[in-house]
């Protein structure tokens, strides 16, 4: 099998599983309990928090563990909007967000907020000027993802955050695809909130974090006990968090601020992407890539004109190649993705779009094999 769907999820690395096992087998204590074994677990949890904070240039108290990207996005959108509703009831999101953000915005609309959707340019980039035009005096929050999950375009987050702030609004970024793949520092970027998920960087599924700037007003979203300093109730998923920390250690080093491995992986993926584009262009007519020049090293969106991506994916699967049509959640539907539509990609191209996404575990040999498999599949669909 050739696995080119790393933006959907990644393989949980063996050392990540190893880091989790002690918290399932022997160190299973509830960090909120009083005896010393549980207090050790609590100390470990706080060490994990400090580590994760370092990878983003944040303070430990600004890191809140969650069940993943979807929860972090829901919490940021709903929690920040509700906490600031006294100042205004308008929220701005980009039209190319993941549904975790888009459907949270829809929920806000059903609950008395108005939402504006900012369109990207043809490369899938949200221009600061476009955000500026959407801001209103009653805007309390703007949310634009750090990099898009379908086409990989990296967004000008620092400039966008500054536009939001100059209008008096807070700024959240969904960094689920970007974190662990490009360097992000919350102070440099000037963001107020940032979402992360572990399973996009070889960590376990069902765990992530929300960076929430100290002092930023945000409502709690999961109510119950006093965990996460009372911000997010529920017994902590220590095994999952241990797995996330180990996945990050492999990228950011033991101290959380030595990202040599992250940069090496990024260079490797960028090279695989470059080779894949060259090979597809030489083997297949009428194919082109989507997204910006400045895009995530591991994400490649390719459109094959006049081809159905569903038919293509079936043939690729038959030959052992895993990829996605747009994003994993949009696949299965015959509608072209909302991201490609909003970029203005013509329907005859958008319908034949496949996302290939790489990790450092992929090889150049796989790229050559995959390009041949894809060329055969496209020819078969076009001849049918
Ligand atoms: N945001 C983006 C940009 C994503 O790509 C994803 C997952 O595909 C999510 C949020 C949701 O993250 P999770 O799967 O951890 O809930």
Q: What is the 3-state secondary structure (H, E, C) of 338-350?
A: HHHHHCCCCHHHH
For residue 333, the model assigns a pLDDT of 56
Residue 208 Cβ contacting ligand 1 at under 6 Å = yes
Q: Please name the helix (run of DSSP H) or strand (run of DSSP E) that holds residue 174, with its range, or none.
A: strand 170-174
Q: Please name the helix (run of DSSP H) or strand (run of DSSP E) that holds residue 63, with its range, or none.
A: strand 63-66
- What is the rounded distance in angstroms from the CA atom of residue 178 to the CA atom of residue 349? 26
> For residue 109, how many other CB atoms are within 10 A of its CB?
12
Residue nearest to atom 10 of ligand 1 (CA): 69
For residue 329, the model assigns a pLDDT of 43
For residue 94, the model assigns a pLDDT of 98
How do the pLDDT tens digits run along the chain, 384 residues long? 999 999 999 999 999 999 999 999 999 999 999 999 999 999 999 999 999 999 999 999 999 999 999 999 999 999 999 999 999 999 999 999 999 999 999 999 999 999 999 999 999 999 999 999 999 999 999 999 999 999 999 999 999 999 999 999 999 999 999 999 999 999 999 999 999 999 999 999 999 999 999 999 999 999 999 999 899 999 999 999 999 999 999 999 999 999 999 999 999 999 999 999 999 999 999 999 999 999 999 999 999 999 999 999 999 999 999 999 964 444 455 677 999 999 999 999 999 999 999 999 999 999 999 999 999 999 999 988
- What is the rounded distance in angstroms from the CA atom of residue 124 to the CA atom of residue 177? 15
Q: Is 213 left (phi over 0), alpha (psi -120 to 50) or beta?
A: beta
Quick check: pTM over 0.95? Answer: yes
- What is the rounded distance in angstroms from the CA atom of residue 191 to the CA atom of residue 213? 8
For residue 98, report the distance from its CA to the centre of ligand 1, in Å: 7
Residue nearest to atom 8 of ligand 1 (CA): 8
> For residue 22, how many other CB atoms are within 10 A of its CB?
14
For residue 304, report the distance from its CA to the centre of ligand 1, in Å: 26
Taking alpha carbons only, the member of 303, 253, 318, 7 closest to residue 150 is 7
Measured from the Cα of 9, ligand 1's closest atom is 8
Taking alpha carbons only, the member of 323, 252, 315, 303 closest to residue 7 is 323
């Amino acid at each position: 099998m050739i696995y080119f769907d790393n933006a959907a999820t990644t393989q949980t690395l063996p050392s990540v599983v190893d880091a989790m096992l002690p918290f399932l087998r022997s160190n299973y204590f509830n960090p909120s309990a009083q005896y010393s074994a549980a207090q050790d677990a609590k100390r470990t949890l706080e060490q994990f928090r400090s580590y994760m904070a370092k990878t983003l240039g944040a303070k430990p108290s600004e890191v809140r563990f969650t069940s993943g990207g979807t929860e972090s996005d829901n919490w940021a959108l709903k929690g920040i909007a509700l906490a600031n509703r006294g100042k205004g009831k308008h929220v701005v999101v980009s039209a190319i967000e993941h549904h975790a953000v888009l459907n949270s915005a829809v929920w806000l609309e059903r609950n008395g907020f108005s939402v504006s959707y900012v369109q990207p340019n043809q490369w899938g980039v949200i221009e600061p000027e476009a955000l500026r035009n959407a801001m209103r005096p009653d805007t309390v929050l703007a949310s634009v993802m750090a990099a898009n999950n379908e086409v990989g375009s990296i967004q000008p987050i620092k400039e966008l955050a500054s536009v939001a702030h100059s209008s008096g609004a807070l700024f959240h970024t969904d960094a689920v695809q970007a974190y662990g793949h490009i360097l992000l520092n919350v102070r440099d970027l000037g963001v107020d909130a940032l979402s992360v998920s572990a399973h996009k960087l070889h960590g376990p599924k069902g765990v992530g974090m929300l960076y929430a700037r100290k002092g930023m007003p945000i409502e709690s979203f999961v109510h119950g006990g006093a965990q996460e300093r009372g911000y997010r109730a529920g017994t902590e998923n220590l095994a999952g968090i241990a797995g996330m920390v180990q996945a990050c250690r492999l990228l950011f080093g033991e101290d959380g601020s030595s990202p040599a491995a992250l940069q090496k992986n990024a260079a490797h993926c960028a090279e695989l992407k470059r080779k894949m584009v060259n090979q597809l262009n030489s083997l297949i007519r009428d194919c082109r890539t989507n997204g910006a020049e400045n895009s995530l090293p591991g994400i490649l969106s390719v459109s094959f004109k006049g081809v159905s991506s569903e038919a293509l994916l079936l043939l690729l699967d038959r030959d052992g190649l895993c990829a996605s049509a747009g994003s994993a959640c949009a696949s299965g539907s015959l509608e072209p993705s909302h991201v490609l539509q909003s970029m203005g990609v013509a329907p005859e191209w958008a319908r034949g779009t496949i996302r290939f996404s790489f990790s450092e575990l992929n090889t150049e040999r796989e790229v050559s094999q995959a390009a041949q498999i894809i060329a055969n599949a496209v020819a078969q669909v076009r001849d049918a």
